[in-house]
A and B are shown apart, each in its own frame.
Chain A
Amino acid sequence: MHRRFRLVAIAVSLAAVSLLRAGDWPQWRGPDHDGISKETGWTDRWPDAGPKVAWKAEVGLGFSSFVVAAGRAVTLGHGDEHDMVTCLDVATGKTLWKHRYPSELGDKFFEGGTTGTPTIANGRVFALSRWGDMFCLDAATGAVVWSKNVQKETGARVPDWGFGGAPLVHGRLVVLNVGEAGLALNRETGAVVWNSAPKAAGYSTPVPVTAGAATLGVMSAGNAYVAVNLADGKPAWSVRWLTQYGVNASDPILSGDRLFVSSGYGKGAALYRVGDGTEPVQLWKSKTLRTQLNAAVLFDGHLYGVDGDTTEKASLKCIEFATGAEKWSVPGFGSGAVTIADGRLLALGGTGELSVAPATPAGFVPTSRAQVIGGKTWTVPVLANGRVLCRNSRGDVVCLDLRKS
């Protein structure tokens, strides 16, 4: 309990500091890798017609989310047998540059297209394709700084739906969920720094977590959630986690010495105690939250996330982190995703309805909701600098202006 209280206190103080900065979202799951935006002062009261649409754009087929930094929004999409990295001016929606490369559609049991999200760091864009094409691009121009195919170089097994995790930039490294327990490249050159066995990766993005003097990267393999020392790739701990087809897709959620993992296909969720040098200990296991794709978001002792698969009408749920007990459920939400900002859920349903509601275990009571986009919206909405970016699988993008005027 004490530990959690301290973490909350730290989070609050960090949030206070960040008010002084632009509310960028430079990487998957946001500045702290937890799905929480530090934005405050945006409006959660919309007219019935919905929030103001700043602009619309088109970025190609796929499910990749956005990263936003220095006025640029970057994402991936697919069309005409190529993937495209698209950089948009976040104020106008104008395309600043595109980088195209030949790529497979990969439409196994879905419409295909890109699934991973790029990362922006130090004026560079890092992007990994489902098939191992890795690019470091100049964020201002899209010029290729370096590129390679990491799958061909390492012989790592391609997971059935391709590599899905976003690159994690950590110090001089860019760490990928490729191979059984990650692959680290030199950020400047792309040279391999450390590597793991060429077995199946999962689809999550490496999450950095401090453990004593070291920083661990926690990510999913095809049959486990693993932690490795980010400096050298050495394994720290591992939790065996078997999901149908090896679809360990949702990002692990870490809080102190607690690890929360969840997956779909009827699997469910579990909480572990990890990292004290002994084997991880399972604290609870439950089927109350089965996140097939997007991970839940942990806020104030509760998890908010989507329970169920894309083949059913998934529910939006709140469960208690410490126990797994269900607090509320919104049936029919669909396979969308949530972001939390300023204590409020920004929840995009599976078919394009966006809601804002207080993030509380007391219930889901939206203050506003609107159909902001059509089609299939499995991609998490991103809030940065008062603007929300939503996309559908076709690649239609809508930017909503939630700044208080």
Chain B
Amino acid sequence: MNDPILPGRRRFLRQAAMAGTAFAAAPFLRAADPTRRFRTVLIGCGWWGKNILREAIASKRVQVVGLCDVDTATREVAAEQVNDLNGDRPKTYNDYRELLEKEKPEIVIIATPDHWHALQTIAAARAGAHVFVEKPTGHTVNESRAMLRAARDGGRVVQVGLHRRIGPHHVSGMKFLKSGAVGDVGMVRIFAHGGGGRERPTPNAAAPDGMDWNLWCGPAPLRPFNPRLHPGGWRNFLDYGNGTLGDWGVHWLDQVLLWSGEKYPRRVFSTGGRPIAGPAVNDATGQTTDAPDHQVAVYDFESFSCVWEHRKFAENNAEKHRIGAYFYGTKGTLHIGWQDGWTFHPSDSKAAVVHEDSQLQQPDGHNLKLLWADFLAAIEDGKPAVAGIEIAHRSSVLPLLGMISWRTGRSVAWDGEKERIVGDPEADAMLSRPYRGPWVYPT
């Protein structure tokens, strides 16, 4: 299928996806050679990027030929770890465009901040590589659409880091849900809670020696370097991430789609603020984060409603769980969580609680090993990737819509077929955002 425009109907979309996948797989349809090693590169060599890369190396199916990071020390740390793990000596790059051109990778892993996902995924797919990119797909909705388009056009597998789709306790929790043991589910509450307090500005500082801060900011606004922002803190700076809803919410919204089979909500409303963290600061001397310290988002689906909640204060000790999803059914409440596995609390107080432990990889409690194996299988066998871009795009749109409602203060009506916000041109315009030159917003 070579239609560059998103089809108007889901059936078309699905057909396009299958056609694209088959096309992608064609060159590899010969029996998979378990000793074959894919020329692999990593863009974004921080904490999570190295977690993915370790799984890639552990699969013994990659030759790490290149590492790209805008920070010299970060890419050198990663290069040393690769050499320690499998003896490869990857070349290191500051600029992903040079990496793609020189290394001609077969697989590109992308673990940069959200504002870079789209341009890098599109460039990698156009360069003929399969892509493993972190969630959420895009920083704005139309970036994600452009990523989807590039994946289809190039006929490449794009796996998105929604590892909860394949995590054993998630899979068994879903099975339990679908068995009817929870009864009819009419509402889902998804959440991520923590502790915290008032935030004071962190002084701006010079970027570390050997760091290309301008390139780190890339298409997003150029802020002064601040240690609160990097490493890792960007998730709560809305120029680069989408707060807790973008970071954690996408996993649980993805679980809701996985469970329900629905493709999109009809309406989304979100509210929240920073009453505890205090006003966002970004001046000549220092910065705070600017993401909300708490947020509620309501997703109105056809057959149920879903509420997202996060708090960065108070913890959640009045309840049993800090993170996860409550599926409220006629027979009780199923909690699917993180380290705490899943637990079914029956409505009938005399009935037994049912529980299953999580089976996560440590450190950091994830299931990247399984997701990576699935990615390789999709490349080699042509079977749909479990968190392929078609699915992950729909999941990633949800937090982004929540953030648009939060910004505008209005409920947004979502046309999930056309992927447009109905009757609110201002909100609809927020499906994209201006890029900082010379970078051009992808289409």
Contact = CB atoms under 8 A, between A and B. Distances in A.
B363 A223 contact: no
Interface stretch (B76-84, B148-156, B181-189, B344-352): B76-84
Nearest to A197: B209
Contacts of A309: 363
A185 interface: no
B77 A158 contact: no
Interface string A293-318: 00000000000000011011100000
Interface string A363-374: 000000000000
B232 A109 contact: yes
Nearest to B228: A108
Interface stretch (A117-125, A241-249, A397-405): A241-249
A266 B50 contact: yes
B227 A160 contact: yes
A107 B196 contact: yes
Contacts of A268: 84
Contacts of B47: 244-245, 265
Contacts of A313: 362
Contact of A242 (B76, B196, B232): B76
Nearest to B201: A104
B208 interface: yes
A311 B363 contact: yes
Contacts of B233: 108
B231 interface: yes
B208 A105 contact: no
A160 B231 contact: yes
Contacts of A188: none
Interface in A160-177: 160
A207 B247 CA distance: 41
A157 B206 contact: yes
A84 to B, nearest CB: 17
A107 B198 CA distance: 11
B195 interface: yes
B197 interface: yes
Interface in A56-94: 81
A160 B205 CA distance: 11
B77 A311 contact: no
A279 interface: no
Interface string B170-200: 0000000000000000000000000111101
Nearest to B195: A111
Given A108-B233, A287-B84, A312 B362 contact: yes
Contacts of A216: none
B73 A223 contact: yes
Interface string B46-64: 1100100010000000000
A196 to B, nearest CB: 14
Contacts of A222: 73, 208
A342 to B, nearest CB: 34
Interface string B404-428: 0000000000000000000000000
Interface string B23-61: 000000000000000000000001100100010000000
B363 A244 contact: no
A243 B77 contact: yes
A160 B203 CA distance: 12
Given A200-B208, A268-B84, A311 B362 contact: yes
A332 to B, nearest CB: 11
Please report whether the interface of chain A is mostly helix, strand, loop or mixed according to DSSP: loop
Nearest to A159: B227
A141 B344 CA distance: 57
A204 B252 CA distance: 40
A104 B200 contact: yes
A266 B195 CA distance: 28
A199 interface: yes
A200 B232 CA distance: 18
Interface string A102-135: 0011011101000000000000000000000000
Interface in A173-204: 199-200
Contacts of B101: none
Nearest to A312: B363
A199 B233 CA distance: 21
A381 B46 CA distance: 33
Contacts of B319: none
A308 B76 CA distance: 21
B73 A242 contact: yes
A287 B46 CA distance: 19
Contacts of B364: 311-312
B205 A158 contact: yes
A230 to B, nearest CB: 25
Nearest to B205: A157
B358 to A, nearest CB: 14
Nearest to A246: B73
A152 to B, nearest CB: 10
Contact of B209 (A158, A199, A287): A199
Nearest to A240: B76
A376 to B, nearest CB: 13
A213 to B, nearest CB: 34
B285 to A, nearest CB: 12
Given A109-B232, A158-B205, A244-B50, A266 B362 contact: no
A158 B204 CA distance: 10
B425 to A, nearest CB: 39
B228 A244 contact: no
A107 to B, nearest CB: 7
Contacts of B208: 157, 200, 222, 246
Contacts of B200: 104
A104 B199 CA distance: 9
A308 B73 contact: no
Contact of A105 (B197, B205, B209, B228): B197
Contacts of A312: 362-364
A58 to B, nearest CB: 18
Contacts of A223: 73
Nearest to B312: A107
**Most chain A C-beta atoms within 10 Å of own C-beta, residue among B54, B73, B74:** B73
19 contacts: A104-B202, A108-B232, A108-B233, A157-B205, A158-B205, A160-B231, A242-B76, A242-B80, A243-B77, A244-B46, A244-B77, A246-B73, A267-B77, A287-B84, A308-B363, A311-B362, A311-B364, A312-B363, A313-B362
Closest 6 pairs (CB-CB, A-B): A312-B363, A311-B363, A312-B362, A242-B77, A160-B227, A309-B363
